[in-house]
Amino acid sequence: MGFGKRFVFGFLLLWLICVSCAEQKGSPFSTFPAIYNFGDSNSDTGGISAAFEPILGPYGESFFHKPSGRGCDGRLIIDFIAVKLKLPCLSAYLNSLGTNYRHGANFATGGSTIRRPNETIFEYGISPFSLHMQIVQFDQFKARSIELYKQAKNPFERSKLPVPEEFSKALYTFDIGQNDLSVGFRKMSFDQLRAALPDIINQLASAVRHLYRQGGRAFWIHNTGPFGCLPLNLFYKHNLPAGYLDRYGCVKDQNKMAIEFNTQLKNRVIKLRAELPEASITYVDVYAAKYGLISKAKNEGFVNPLKICCGYHVNDTHIWCGKKAMVNGKVVYGGSCANPLKYVNWDGVHYTEAANHWVAHRILNGFLSDPPIPITQACYRH
């Protein structure tokens, strides 16, 4: 074999080693052919909008220039994950039109909890598609898509379906838990919620184990954000006692509970690694990224992080983003601010695209992950 052929052969061999997702430290990147996401509105790309009433403008205005099914003015962290992995944005599993599942599917829906809800979505906005139901939907999706793939008569019929062999090579992402805290703060004492945390965490762990049994091997798990920093928590609060808020205006006790949730989640992930010997499980500290942004928002070019961009809030009158209501005999619209790029919070609950991009930039490089690896190496066990 001449030098030229040996060089080409060696180059091809090196390339094959680099792109394979074998257990090998030091390889430069993982090539994920697909993403399967489970979560709530922080990563919902159109599920709840397809299942119930569509999310209307001005949602979506900053990037899509029209409603996109996201509870945001533009893209979410899951969208930036797809960009980082050079994959298209995920189609929502519940969206029957314009969907393409070749590179994954999104089972997240706004208002979803880890535990099964015992109230309707019309009461407090809690989705009926809890994590357990999302896993059931994934099982149905996988079985049905494999069946359709085998029945397809030509490449065109298969072009929007996942390749069956790639389910085991996909990245499985989780961003859920915020609404379990929300329900707990509304219906339980702090002691009761704290006592419920182990069961909530175990149910998330059960979902990971189930996907592992289905062949999944790479898991990217976000912890929950600083719930006490959501402006909605302060809309109707007056004359707050000393010590109720921290130095940045966030509700201390709520953030303490979020931190306790995250501590238990991280410990459970460590145990899962021992239970699932072939899995690569990355715990991602989204809380640190989001709280970091809130604590230094002005230094990063943002306005007050507890000020909402979309919606109307004056004294005790609040009109939700994109809605209309009568105020002192006049119709008032909860419209968008002039420059969402300067805002951290979009509507009182959800972050803006600008904030999501800021957070994504800081979590996808691995600096806030355990183990500290970027998402492009999330297929390797460490």
| Active-site annotation holder among 41, 91, 127, 182 | 41
- DSSP assignment of 183-233 equals HHHHHS-HHHHHHHHHHHHHHHHHHHHHHHHTT--EEEEE----GGG-GGG
Neighbours of 233 (CB within 10 A): 20
Amino acid at 248: Y
Gap between the Cα atoms of 81 and 84, Å rounded: 5
Q: By CB neighbour count within 10 A (0-12 exposed, 13-18 middle, 19+ buried), where does 224 fall?
A: buried
Torsion of CA 261, 267, 268, 273, to 10 degrees: 150
Amino acid at 244: Y
Helix, strand or coil for residue 370?
strand
Residue 181 in tokens: 């805290």
Helix, strand or coil for residue 22?
coil
| Active-site annotation holder among 103, 222, 313, 350 | 350
Render the burial of 110-144: b for 16+ CB within 10 Å, e for the rest.
bbbbbbebeeebeeebbbbbbbbbbbebbeebbee
Could you tell me which of 137, 135, 165, 169 has the C-alpha nearest to residue 149? Answer: 165
Helix, strand or coil for residue 113?
coil
Q: Is there a catalytic annotation at residue 347?
A: yes
| Active-site annotation holder among 49, 347, 357, 369 | 347
Gap between the Cα atoms of 305 and 249, Å rounded: 9
Render the burial of 42-67: b for 16+ CB within 10 Å, e for the rest.
bbbbbbbbbbbeebebbbbbbbbeeb
Q: Is there a catalytic annotation at residue 41?
A: yes
Looking at the annotation, which residues are catalytic? 41, 347, 350
